[in-house]
Amino acid sequence: MAESKVLIAAAGAGSRAGLPYPKCLHPVLGRPILLRLFDLLTPIDPRPTVIVSPSGRGEIQRCLDGAGFDADLVEQPQPTGMGDAVLCFRQAPRFAETEHLLLVWGDLPSIQPETVAALSHQHFAAGNDFTFVSRYVDEAYTIVERMPDGQIISLTETREAGLNPKPGERDIGLFLFRKTPVFELLAANLPGARGRVTGEHGFLYIVRHMVEAGLKVEALPIGTELDLVSLNRPSDLEALNSNSGRS
């Protein structure tokens, strides 16, 4: 199996969640989300790259140093969207040597090892250019659109598209892709790059462009309830924090 590098997007300041520190440092079962992600992902890449904000860099570095983890921290100077955050990886020391990149949002505390393993296996076994995990939910804040035969058409963020969430298939914030075509598309200022609501440079819009370019995109509807947990506000994590038997 080809080697993957890991990119954790963790530039969220935490202010929207009412936190005085970066979202990725919020503790779950006594351990910061970022360290839980490192526990999960360093067997794949012993030195992940973390995209951080200038204000959060010091706290994140101290957290990683205290836990004995190695990482490359790359700053996103301004909060201009996830697409720009991912493009910051171009400044990472290992950008040139990376062929496949495993991207995960930095506010996901309970992604399961089996989910990551299944994603990696399918991505390489199928020779995909872009593979992501999805789940069918009652309120889909992102929308996976498929052809009748199951082929992917697009992946859309409802907020930026001016749509209301409804039952359907959504992504979970875990992606594995070939670096070169993705970064070429992100840098091309393509239609749909800027959100209608925030004006920020998104990331999910590139799925449509990859499909239209004839690249091989696959969504795996294998996400679990635990995989889907994310931190938008501390109350989102109450179920995890109250059940010390879950990881």
Sequence ranges of the domains in the chain: 4-133+172-191+225-239
Written as tens digits, the pLDDT of the chain (247 aa) is 468 999 999 998 765 667 889 999 999 989 999 999 999 999 999 999 999 999 999 999 999 999 999 999 999 999 999 999 999 999 999 999 999 999 999 999 999 999 999 999 999 999 999 999 999 999 999 999 999 999 999 999 998 888 899 999 999 999 999 999 999 999 998 999 999 889 999 999 999 999 999 999 999 999 999 999 998 766 667 666 655 444 4
CATH 3.90.550.10 is held by the domain 4-133+172-191+225-239: yes
> Distance (Å, rounded) from C-alpha 141 to C-alpha 171?
9
Give Cα separations from 86 to 35, 65, 112, 196, 235 (angstroms).
20, 23, 23, 20, 28
Measured over the CA atoms of residue 23, residue 157, residue 132 and residue 45, the dihedral's sign is negative
> Distance (Å, rounded) from C-alpha 124 to C-alpha 225?
25
pLDDT tens per residue across span 85-128: 999 999 999 999 999 999 999 999 999 999 999 999 999 999 99
Count, residues in the chain: 247
State how far Cα 52 lies from the chain centre: 14
Q: Which residues of 124-144 are buried (b: 16+ CB within 10 A; e: fewer)?
A: eeeebbbbbbbbebeebbbbb
Fill in the DSSP letter of residue 87. H
Q: Are 228 and 133 in contact (CB under 8 A)?
A: no
